[in-house]
Amino acid sequence: MIACEKGYYNTVKVLLSYKANLNLRNQEGNNALMMASRYGRNRTIQVLLSHRDNINTAILQTLYRRKHHQPITTKFIREHLYVNEVQINQQNYEGNTALMIAIHNKFFDTYHLLLTPEVNVNLVNREGNTLFILISKELRLKWNEFGKCYLELYKRGADFSIRNNKRKTAIYYAKTLYPEDAIHGLVDYL
């Protein structure tokens, strides 16, 4: 975990070759991916995301035996096929994912790196904030970058009506940064 925090990606590669557990947590509940995203260690994040350890042979045998039974979903296969892969949707004790931590620490390039197809864009942290609420609150993006984020999350099924513990939506926070007519235009566009 310290190698991920410090950005020693070659050390991380060596540790992974020795079957290091990627999902161990520290006292705050952060795993290796969360520590790398906290400090914007993009090369380390690439190593962690590309790592596929042992294939779970028990699952493969189950799949082979069940070929004449009801089909198994691709979601089940993705979640159970690999024994030791990084859990991108894992939340720490504050409810933040690696992606939320990257946004909180204003690493926009890390945000793009972590936005993989497996990401659940509607997870909420302890304060009730979703990914888009955090983008609206934490990042001071230019209008065009904000619009791209909005569209990207919309395509991934983000629910923009979710309110945090303060009863505010992402659009509320966006209105404090951008002209209200531009926000309404973006919402109407979708």
Domain containing residue 18: 1-51+90-106
Q: CA 52, CA 21: separation in Å to the nearest integer?
A: 12
The contacts found for 6-15 with CB under 8 angstroms, 24 or more apart, are 6/39, 6/41, 7/36, 7/39, 7/41, 7/43, 7/44, 8/44, 9/41, 9/43, 9/44, 9/46, 9/47, 12/44, 12/47, 12/48, 13/47
pTM above 0.85, yes or no: no
pLDDT of residue 190: 59
Confirm whether 112 is domain-assigned. Answer: no
Mean pLDDT by 10 residues, the chain (190 residues): 83 83 87 93 90 57 60 64 72 95 92 90 95 88 83 88 92 81 67
User: Smallest Cα–Cα separation from 20: which of 64, 53, 61?
Assistant: 53
CB 108 within 8 Å of CB 43: no
Phi and psi at residue 81, in whole multiples of 5°?
-70, -40
- Sign of the dihedral through C-alpha 46, 49, 50, 51: positive
Instruction: Provide the residue type at 44 as one letter.
Output: T
Residues 63/74, Cβ–Cβ less than 8 Å: no
Q: How far apart are CA 19 and CA 105, in angstroms?
A: 29
Residues 59, 136, single domain; the answer is: no
pLDDT score, position 172: 87
Q: What is the pLDDT of residue 92?
A: 95
Q: Measured between alpha carbons, how far is 165 from 64 in angstroms, rounded to an integer?
A: 47
Give pLDDT, residue 61. Answer: 61
Number of domains the chain is built from: 3
Is the domain of 78 the same as that of 155? no
Q: Are residues 4 and 44 in the same domain?
A: yes
Does residue 167 share a domain with residue 77?
Answer: no
